[in-house]
Amino acid sequence: MTRLLVVEDEQIVALDLQQGLSKMGYEVLATADNARDALILTHDQRPDLVLMDIKINGPMDGIEAGRHIADIGIPVIYLTAYSDADTVRRAAQSMPYGFLTKPYQLHEVAASIEVAMYKSGMERHLRETREKLIAEQDQLLTLLTYEIRTPLATINAAAESLRILDEAVSSPDRDRRYQRIAESIRRADYLVQLASRRDHSADQRGEPLIVDVLGLTRSLIEQFPARQQQQVQLQSARAQIQVRAFPELLQFALCNLLDNAFKFAPMGSPIHIDILYRERSKSMCWKISDSGPGVPPAERECIFEKYYRNEQSGTPGLGLGLYLTRQLLRGVGGEVSCSEVAQGACFEVTLPLS
């Protein structure tokens, strides 16, 4: 039996609705003539649907009350004598399940209730199905990430052993191969960490943290091999600049840009990281630049598209690195772009100050 709440400021109309709908098999839990009582009754008795008049007693009208009720997931049908354009527009913005004008016919009200309940039930079913699928996908993703970590660790250990055994035959080509292996392992490990943290929704989808920009940048650089650390020239406009972000996601984005700089720049050439403070826009900027072949002007926006592969890239991949970087930064109000420089490539990451 569908449980209803009737909100109507005319007692005769409210009583007529209550008696008529009861005879048709509906349970009318209560009636109210103002928004305050309607909201209290909705929270206390949790009706399946609310029939709401728009012009009711009190400072809050039925549309505003209906918006609050809709926010807690209970369908609302407006039943009113007002159908002017402004009222209809305001009512539509509150996402009702129906809009009936007085004088009404009980069979029309009942038909609207049945349609609203069917629609509400389907939406609830789809929502529950979607949440179940997301939970199952997250569980599978977690299992996969744990499985991926083992071969990654094995590859890393094997590569390090080969590098030690091969030290007697040092050559630029050999060093470049080991560097690429290390870069691939580190990038894969970052992706695994990023994927595995999807289970911790409170950490990633809650409030961002205050991040010390210079400290995070230094920590990131220290994760690279010693020879690559020596290439990095870090400068900061201020000793302390803070942003509000998720540290792991921000570190992944910066690591991806720094990996690209090492990949395209000549071996041993300097990689510049400049941390700038912008007073006017209340933001900060990382500038990561190298002396490699650079990015053609026509590709400076294309490289951030999903699956786009730069022809100069000598390593395999899906073309998702820069796309993910931009999406992660935009999630915390930031942006990344490729700017024009005389030589090489320069990527700028901008974030609002905390």
pLDDT for 213 equals: 93
Question: What does the alpha-carbon distance between residue 287 and residue 336 come to, in Å, rounded to a whole number?
Answer: 10
**168 or 286, which is more confident?**
286
pLDDT for 194 equals: 62
Task: Summarize pLDDT for 280-336 with one digit per residue, the tens.
Answer: 889 999 999 999 998 999 899 999 988 787 655 555 455 677 888 888 888 888 999
pLDDT for 9 equals: 92
Question: What does the alpha-carbon distance between residue 213 and residue 350 come to, in Å, rounded to a whole number?
Answer: 12
The residue-averaged pLDDT of 211-231 equals 90
Helices 213-221 & 247-264 angle (0-180, nearest 10): 50
**236 or 137, which is more confident?**
236
Question: What does the alpha-carbon distance between residue 124 and residue 97 come to, in Å, rounded to a whole number?
Answer: 14
What 3-state DSSP class applies to 236?
strand
pTM greater than 0.85 = no
**176 or 210, which is more confident?**
210
pLDDT band, residue 204 (cuts 50/70/90): very low
- Which CATH architecture is the domain 3-104 placed in? 3-Layer(aba) Sandwich (3.40)
pLDDT for 146 equals: 66
Q: Does pLDDT of 27 surpass 70?
A: yes
pLDDT band, residue 121 (cuts 50/70/90): very high
The residue-averaged pLDDT of 14-21 equals 93
What CATH class has 207-354?
Answer: alpha beta
- Of 139-153, 214-228, 331-345, the range with the lowest mean pLDDT is 139-153
pLDDT for 315 equals: 52
Task: Summarize pLDDT for 33-71 with one digit per residue, the tens.
Answer: 999 999 999 999 999 999 999 999 999 999 999 999 999
Token pair 């990095």 in the structure block, residue: 232
The residue-averaged pLDDT of 335-345 equals 90
pLDDT for 201 equals: 39
If we measure between CA atoms, which residue out of 24, 18, 20, 19 comes closest to residue 5?
Answer: 18
pLDDT band, residue 205 (cuts 50/70/90): very low
Give percent of the chain above pLDDT 90: 49
